[in-house]
Amino acid sequence: MVEHLSPPAVPPSAHGVPPGTSGVSLSEHGGAVSLASGYFHAYTLVGVITAAGVLFVAFAFAAGRLLRPVVPTREKFLTYECGVDPVGEGWAHTQVRYYVYAFLYVIFAVDSIFLFPWATVFAAPGYGATTLVEMFVFLGFLAIGLLYAWKKGVLEWT
């Protein structure tokens, strides 16, 4: 015959609070401490996964460095020209001028992303004048940056 055992009932402590709980309400601590601990506890898993990812990448790089064959030869230091033996100097000096325009594009593209949330908040009642002033300050900083780049001659091709 099998006897069914159930866990014994745990009596409350002397103050009437079940064991394993603090028995402190949010109002006794002002709610901030308990709320913050719960909030940061939720990100523990994110931190663990991030740390595991960083360790995995570091391990992969270390394993690749330790396991690869290292046989330096003269041919490995030559530049590759589609299977043809290289002729002349391997390094050619070229002037890349598009990087300035690409850099300015990235700056303005990222900054334009901030305009979309502003447009949604601007439509909300009670936020119109405040968000309008904030956005003109933001656009003013962008304009000052563009004028500074123009004044320094960064935007000139010659």
Please state whether the predicted TM-score (pTM) of the whole model is above 0.75.
Answer: no
Closest among 107, 95, 106 to 142, alpha carbons compared: 107
Quickly state the pLDDT bin for 15 (edges 50, 70, 90). low
Q: Where is pLDDT greater, at 8 or 158?
A: 158
- Mean pLDDT for the chain overall: 76
Q: Tell me 114's DSSP state.
A: T
Residue 52 identity (one-letter amino acid): A
The stretch 14-21 carries a mean pLDDT of 52
Give residue-wise pLDDT tens across range 24-69: 444 555 555 666 667 777 788 889 999 999 999 999 999 999 999 8
Residues 6+ apart with CB under 8 A from 132: 122
Amino acid code (one letter) for 23: G
Residue 2 has a pLDDT of 55
Cα distance between residue 39 and residue 53, in whole Å: 22
The answer, yes or no, to whether residue 127 has pLDDT greater than 80, is no
Share of the chain above pLDDT 90, in %: 17
Please give the pLDDT value at position 94: 67
- Half-sphere exposure at residue 156, Cβ-oriented, CA atoms within 13 angstroms: 6
Token digits for 101?
Answer: 């325009």
